[in-house]
Chain A
């Protein structure tokens, strides 16, 4: 009975019904139009404009018209620094994706496993998500990982390992400690968010599965994690991996701010310049908007390709 009453009764086609339809339609457009307008003005128009710009010679101007074919695309692909930026982002992705995945899943299982204070832990780990990348990057650069003896990291290595000479965490290349700085800041910022997603995933797994496994002789620990938890988290894993990949490819803030944001110190940017920092320099600093747009479309194509391939490999959208 309860189920039946939830089903919509067929609406008789009457004048009142037609009026209700019209009102619903008006309401629909009223609610949707601000959003659609915003989408058109701030997203679709710039995309089309950017696409046209990418085929134009547009230096110190954003007017479309001086068409030069694929020259901007050729220039970007020929630039060693752009190719290097792709390698940089691949290296970064190779570090940050597995690390975030493992750390957030681990945290989720720990937090989910405690009987007391679950809410406190969940909140504590989630808070960094609400912090700005710029602020966190500046704290990492100026306070935690600065190169002077009173920096937090340098105090730590002195106290723990007796290393007296301060390490140059950001500008040094041998070894490239800057990767530690760049990876940890993002890890700290995003791990809480993915932890929440995993906790939701974990809570979806029916307890009966673990109980059945227990009856069959499987003890909790590695076996149940491998044979129950991981397979049941398949959809969550796919979603998390996709988000992690796309976010990593779009990295900008921590690279820009840790390695020197303003025009007055640019010598460290070359250490690890992801594509978005490269494009920022080409478009906004060198004022070559045409070439910048071309680079943006190349990067978009790469991200879409990776996402589609990833979706195929993991079987995104297939039912479990």
Chain B
């Protein structure tokens, strides 16, 4: 740098930069830097500015679809526009959101005011969420599917408002099935046969996730056998049908026709669109991505029935908004939830349909959803309403871990299925007793 051309201001600035750091400067710098690190906080947060005296913190898990984060921020800003005295800080939380980050945050006084998740008996018993019954007028309540009310209800009170409904379907490549003379499967045996026929070694028959479907089919498999997991505070899966369903998952894994070890997992359609597998189990949310990848060369079915005594199934999933019981502004938080997910059907349509495909939870909003009116999405919505299965709020992660361990032992280690299912049922029983106290 040629110093002779520098202006006086620049020279002064340079002197400042090279001036020896005083102790006070050092302390100041270190304090500011440490503060920046500490207060950078968690995830990316953006505050919708308001003159407001009320400030709400709203947490989302990281959605995969492009544009969702901006949409969530836009909703928060819109709320401040209509309610100038409330500002909403939207926090987008990456990582293991519901399994670890959220539960830890809810233990503290610094958790979010409003957050998405799933209502559980444990959350309610620990007094971490507030009932939202007053948001559900009779008309509002009638406009939500009974499944969305059931999964939100503990001991007769409703604790969440459904924001987004998710479901899964079995996608298949039409051209590959036609070429191989394979019909879309309607039973588990047909799934196994189709996967084997379609498997050419380098293009696998079916992709159920990198654990061979242990997570994806954990509860769907027994449900497809006509039994269930947890109904009316009873563990009901300990029976021959579950054992048979799990043995079939082992048979499928042992056949070598499954794709395992793909760079992405079952919730992402890349393995299917990239031609790594002829069929894949993934969400309705992935349909726009699949269309972009392979056009209309795909068909969908629900997860097939185990056999003639079984039923086709899919999961009734999604996310629901709750209000933290430790919030200092519970009423404001409730008002925000009502505005965003009950009154504001335009935003609900946008959230559910503009970024990936989901079913808007308001039945009236779902009925008006243009993109879902024609097949194949219309078929997926029909499977969702007809075959969607729920898990009640009494189902805990610990029960899920016990059942996952059982199925993993059956599939991976060839453990006797009946014993594993019985042991898992016993663990789940104990857990349920402990929960219901």
Binary per-residue interface labels of chain B (102-143) against chain A in the complex, 1 for a CB within 8 Å, 0 otherwise = 011001000000000000001101101000000000000000
| Contact of B397 with A81 in the complex, beta carbons under 8 Å | no
Q: How many residues of A contact B (CB 8 A)?
A: 42
CA distance A271 to B413 in the complex (A): 8
| Contact of B260 with A171 in the complex, beta carbons under 8 Å | yes
CA distance A165 to B199 in the complex (A): 11
CA distance A61 to B397 in the complex (A): 15
Q: Which residues of chain A are within 8 angstroms of B103 by Cβ–Cβ distance?
A: 60, 284, 287
| Contact of B96 with A147 in the complex, beta carbons under 8 Å | no
| Contact of B261 with A148 in the complex, beta carbons under 8 Å | yes
| Contact of A170 with B201 in the complex, beta carbons under 8 Å | no
Which residue of the partner chain B has the closest CB to A291?
A: B398
| Contact of A267 with B107 in the complex, beta carbons under 8 Å | no
Q: Which residues of chain A are within 8 angstroms of B213 by Cβ–Cβ distance?
A: 267
A262 at the interface (CB under 8 A from B): yes
A201 at the interface (CB under 8 A from B): no
Q: Which residues of chain B are within 8 angstroms of A168 by Cβ–Cβ distance?
A: 260-261
| Contact of B265 with A267 in the complex, beta carbons under 8 Å | no
Binary per-residue interface labels of chain B (223-265) against chain A in the complex, 1 for a CB within 8 Å, 0 otherwise = 0000000000000000000000000000000000001111101
Q: Which residues of chain A are within 8 angstroms of B263 by Cβ–Cβ distance?
A: 142-143, 146, 148
| Contact of A266 with B214 in the complex, beta carbons under 8 Å | yes
| Contact of A270 with B412 in the complex, beta carbons under 8 Å | yes
Which residue of the partner chain A has the closest CB to B402?
A: A81
| Contact of A264 with B267 in the complex, beta carbons under 8 Å | yes
| Contact of A148 with B276 in the complex, beta carbons under 8 Å | yes
| Contact of A171 with B397 in the complex, beta carbons under 8 Å | no
CA distance A267 to B266 in the complex (A): 12
A172 at the interface (CB under 8 A from B): yes
CA distance A287 to B125 in the complex (A): 13
CA distance A270 to B401 in the complex (A): 10
- Chain A contact residues: over half helix, strand or loop, or mixed? loop
Binary per-residue interface labels of chain B (183-221) against chain A in the complex, 1 for a CB within 8 Å, 0 otherwise = 000000000000000000110000001111111000000
A260 at the interface (CB under 8 A from B): yes
Q: Which residues of chain B are within 8 angstroms of A282 by Cβ–Cβ distance?
A: 398
For chain A residues 253-286, which have a beta carbon within 8 Å of chain B? Answer: 260-271, 280-282, 284-286
Residue of B104, B405, B412 near A173 (CB, 8 A) is B412
Binary per-residue interface labels of chain B (385-415) against chain A in the complex, 1 for a CB within 8 Å, 0 otherwise = 0000000000011100100110111011100
Which residue of the partner chain B has the closest CB to A138?
A: B263
Question: Closest CB of chain A to B125's CB: distance in Å?
Answer: 7
A169 at the interface (CB under 8 A from B): yes
Q: Which residues of chain B are within 8 angstroms of A143 by Cβ–Cβ distance?
A: 263
| Contact of B398 with A288 in the complex, beta carbons under 8 Å | yes
For chain A residues 154-178, which have a beta carbon within 8 Å of chain B? Answer: 164-166, 168-173
Question: Closest CB of chain A to B127's CB: distance in Å?
Answer: 9
Binary per-residue interface labels of chain A (19-60) against chain B in the complex, 1 for a CB within 8 Å, 0 otherwise = 000000000000000000000000000000000000000011
Residue of A62, A169, A263, A268 near B98 (CB, 8 A) is A263
Which residue of the partner chain B has the closest CB to A288?
A: B398
Listed by A's residue number, 5 A-B pairs whose Cβ atoms lie within 8 Å are: A146-B261, A169-B261, A265-B215, A266-B401, A267-B407
Residues of B within 8 A of A (CB): 96, 98-100, 103-104, 107, 122-123, 125-126, 128, 201-202, 209-215, 259-263, 265-267, 276, 396-398, 401, 404-405, 407-409, 411-413, 434
6 new A-B contacts, CB < 8 A, other than A149-B202, A268-B412, are A263-B99, A265-B215, A265-B265, A268-B210, A269-B404, A284-B99
